[in-house]
Amino acid sequence: MTRILGATSTADDVLSGTDLRGKRVLVTGVSSGLGVETARSLAAHGAQVVGTARDLPKAAAATGPVRADAAHGGSLELVALDLASLVSVRACADALVHDGRPFDLVIANAGVMATPPGRTLDGFETQLGTNHLGHFVLVNRIEPLIADGGRVVVVASASHRSADFSLDDLNFERTAYEPRTAYARSKTANILFAVEFDRRHAARGVRATAVHPGTIRTELGRHIGNEAMDQAIRHISADLVARGEPPFEWKTVPQGAATTVWAGVVASAAEVGGRYCENCHVSEVIDRPVSPLAEGVRSYALDPEIAGLLWRRSEELVGEHF
């Protein structure tokens, strides 16, 4: 019987009956939230997981459940990675390449959201530098390790719809910085990266996709604050009820990790390659105004021309050609 997966499915629901023994997976950002649950569900089904974290002691404490639930040969190895430092990114990538063991799946999960004005160690706007450029360099540098038929899953967000995307001032050098706009643009960049990476590597069977995990309470929202978040959710719920729809409900962390593992392991590569997914299915392109919690991906986030332009601009910014 075919399983019906959707918004309330958990990562374990998605992977039920799936044997990942012999599969090796890289997951960035395993010191909290979605990264920990993604790693746990994969290791519980036999995958050998390599998890990255800026703070290794914090990650070691947070990933106790990953090691506890690992089964059928599943395991967890932690490696240091600070996505806000290209020195750290390159060192991590070089160490993985030197090690030489291939990956069947790479999950670009780590990220920051709505940060105060700031710059990475390389001078990039914090969210662009951490969410996009750090992953851009890491994934491209370890691309030779991705096995033929492997996949890349980039964790993006429905927030990409909340601000138009422009290549003109990615680092907010000429325009006023606004935290949520910067986050939205970094998430659009995540999607566009997946689109272009997929185009470049599909010929050898390596497919890339972007996913929206849903709206979940994790450490990611710490710069917004619980009070501001709760106020925004109350307004959204009131609007939903006024339209005769059920009020908003947070996704749990296990539900939030579901689409990531669905796109990385369960869905067919042809179905998800170069696409944007949410609630365990591929999203429709919707350019009209919709509720912040509605489904849909903006056409500009999947535009191959914009994706190619962003790739070249990203190469200029990081000083590397891939």
Active site residues: 183
Give the amino acid at 289: P
Cβ contacts of residue 115 below 8 Å, gap of 6+?
126, 127, 179, 182, 183, 223
Spatial CA neighbour of 123 closest among 181, 172, 156 = 172
And the tokens for 291?
A: 């509720």
Contacts 24+ apart (CB under 8 A), 29-32: 29/53, 29/109, 29/110, 29/111, 30/59, 30/62, 30/63, 30/66, 30/76, 30/78, 30/109, 31/55, 31/58, 31/59, 31/62, 31/63, 32/58, 32/62, 32/218, 32/219
Classified as helix, coil or strand, 122 is coil
Alpha-carbon distance of 243 to 222, in angstroms, equals 30
Neighbours of 219 (CB within 10 A): 13
Alpha-carbon distance of 163 to 192, in angstroms, equals 15
Per the CB < 8 A criterion, the answer to whether 101 and 150 are in contact is: no
Question: How many Å is the Cα radius of gyration of the chain?
Answer: 18
Alpha-carbon distance of 155 to 216, in angstroms, equals 13
